């Protein structure tokens, strides 16, 4: 079966510090991978998605970047965090295989607080 791992679960970082959040998927190959941010009580904002190694699409211009160094690894980074980067970050993957194609599965999320 497929699983998605996202860590850390919570993170408190000072303004101006770097960020690295990691997400890995097991039990599948060549998935689409996604990073979302969710403000408290709000919907999901798509930040980045990737259809393959080294292929990143950015949806929202901001202080963040993403990389996909391996097929099932997706990393969200920042060189210098801003207060506005605080939020709940979710990694997700899309199953391309029939009959489950077009379904997206989420990780447990990372609660980031920038102080």
Partner 1 sequence: GQQLNQSPQSMFIQEGEDVSMNCTSSSIFNTWLWYKQDPGEGPVLLIALYKAGELTSNGRLTAQFGITRKDSFLNISASIPSDVGIYFCAGYNFNKFYFGSGTKLNVKP
Note the residues at the interface with partner 1 (CB under 8 A): 6, 32, 34, 41-44, 46, 49, 51, 88, 90, 92, 94, 100, 102-109, 111
- Read out DSSP for 33-44? EEEEEE-TT--E
Q: CA separation (Å) from 101 to 29, 74, 82? A: 13, 20, 36
- Tell me how far, at minimum, the Cβ of 102 lies from partner 1, in Å: 4
- For partner 1, the closer CB: 49 or 64: 49
- For partner 1, the closer CB: 47 or 114: 47
33 closest CA partner among 56, 61, 9: 56
Q: State the burial class of residue 90 (Cβ atoms within 10 Å of its Cβ: 0-12, 13-18, 19+).
A: buried
- Tell me how far, at minimum, the Cβ of 103 lies from partner 1, in Å: 5
- Tell me how far, at minimum, the Cβ of 82 lies from partner 1, in Å: 23
Integer Cα distance of 35 and 107 in angstroms: 10
- For partner 1, the closer CB: 23 or 81: 23
Integer Cα distance of 20 and 50 in angstroms: 17
- Tell me how far, at minimum, the Cβ of 42 lies from partner 1, in Å: 7
- For partner 1, the closer CB: 15 or 103: 103
């Amino acid at each position: 079966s497929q699983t998605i791992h996202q860590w850390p679960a919570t993170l408190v970082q000072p303004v101006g510090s770097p960020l690295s959040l990691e997400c890995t998927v097991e039990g599948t190959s060549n998935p689409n991978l996604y990073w979302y941010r969710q403000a408290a009580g709000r919907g999901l904002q798509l930040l980045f998605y990737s259809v393959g190694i080294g292929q990143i699409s950015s949806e929202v211009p901001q202080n963040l970047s993403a990389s996909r160094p391996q097929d099932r690894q997706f990393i969200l980074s920042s060189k210098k965090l801003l207060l506005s980067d605080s939020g709940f970050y979710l990694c997700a993957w899309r199953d391309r295989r029939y009959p489950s194609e077009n379904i997206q599965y989420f990780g447990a999320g990372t609660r980031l607080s920038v102080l």
